[in-house]
Amino acid sequence: MKKIILGIMMLFLMFITGCGGAPTLSQSAARIINADSKMTDGCQFLGDVHGISGWGSLTASVGIENAKNVAREEAVSMGATHIVWTDMAGGPWPHANGKAYRCK
């Protein structure tokens, strides 16, 4: 019985460590700057970006970071250098929304 419990615990830990972390960002997405509206004065607005994550509830902080990373990758595909976050929420379906800008 102890071996079964130990096996289940090992599988659970492998699942959490293998799937629970934030996805690897591209180098470009990692360079996106979190900004406020003053920082983006004079920058070109490119559009809204959105990210969602399936990691919520007890792992809400991981889920929010995953959602932000999805939005960062979307911003990179638009040519953005900065994001102004407009809405973030945890809960069962964490999400992050922002506005993407290209600043020189």
Q: What is the DSSP string of 48-78?
A: EEEEE-S--GGGHHHHHHHHHHHHHHHHHHT
pLDDT tens, residue by residue, 15-65: 444 444 555 789 999 999 999 999 999 999 999 999 998 766 666 678 888
Domains recognised in the chain with CATH numbers: 29-102 (3.30.110.70)
Long-range contacts of 30-37 (CB under 8 A, 24+ apart): 30/72, 31/81, 32/72, 32/75, 32/76, 32/80, 32/81, 32/82, 32/83, 33/81, 33/82, 33/83, 33/103, 34/82, 34/83, 34/85, 35/82, 35/83, 35/84, 35/101, 35/103, 36/84, 37/84
pLDDT tens, residue by residue, 73-102: 999 999 999 999 999 988 888 999 999 999
> pTM of whole model > 0.85?
no
